[in-house]
Structure 1
Amino acid sequence: MNTQEVADKLIQLCREGKNVEAINELYADHIVSHEPKGSPMEFTEGKDAVLDKTNQWYAMVEEVHSGSVSDPIVTGEFFTCAMDMDVTYKGMGRSMMNEICVYQVKGGKIVSERFHYDIPQAN
């Protein structure tokens, strides 16, 4: 798959709530993931570690009230999208999260992801 095809598939799966399936299908085994400085998992390396990070996030969530993912913007081997979520975290309360996600694709797989957001504050 080219970058546009990977981007379109990732957006589709995320909109369907199939984030784990997206990782299994679209991520390279040697994926690197970057979260903002100060977040619990600033740097994660390897598909298994990214899956574990994703499952840990799901375990912290009490309820997802709403979420949206923008259409991708693609150039060369990179694409970006915006993701917005209204989530209640277990023991932490409700939080609105807005992030910009930047992905790099090589050989038809996502090899890098970088998330830009303010660390959520519970309400």
Structure 2
Amino acid sequence: MATSTLTTQEVATRLVELCRKGQVLEAQEELFADEVTSYEPAHSPTPPAIGKDAVMAKGRHFAASIEKRHGGSFEDPIVAGNYFSFVCKFDADLKGMGRVVWDEICVLGVKDGKIISEQFFY
């Protein structure tokens, strides 16, 4: 049975849907390509992550740093060609940092129905 490749809009909608349910790691497993890359802003101490295993390890590390969630949201994605973006609002206590509140823009690239890049701006 042949499977169809998801469009960029379908990938974007699915990612935000899973993130809103708190299933970020599940979203990465389902939607990320093996060769995905992940970049934080230059001021972040987090280095780039290359490859699905490294990106998922980065996600698990971040999830483990959350002591308490106070709120947050994922806005509807905007699609342009093979890219999409959305705003993520975050409010939580992080280990060793206390309460952190930020808004970030997430920009993701899609190829062959899988996410091949993610970059965060905050």
Query: Aligned-residue CA RMSD in angstroms?
Result: 0.8
Give 1:94 deviation, angstroms.
0.4
1:16 is aligned to 21
Q: Is the 8 A contact 1:104 1:111 kept in 2?
A: yes
Deviations along 1:69-117, one digit per CA (max 9) or x if unpaired, are 0000001100000000101012321010110000000000000001000
Are residue 59 (structure 1) and residue 86 (structure 2) matched? no
- Residue 37 of structure 1 aligns to a residue whose secondary structure is coil
Aligned match of 2:3: none
Q: Secondary structure at the match of 1:23?
A: helix
**Counterpart mapping for 1:7-86 below 5 A:** 7-86=12-91
| Helix, strand or coil at the partner of 2:44 | coil
Choose the corresponding residue for 2:114, options 101, 109, 112.
Answer: 109
**Deviation beyond 6 Å, 4+ runs, structure 1:** none
CA distance in 2, matches of 1:88, 1:8: 28
Unaligned runs of 5+ in 2: 1-5
TM-score (norm 2): 0.93
**Which residue of 1 is the match for residue 103 of structure 2?**
98
- CA deviations 1:41-72 (Å, max 9, x no partner) are 23110000011101111111101111100000
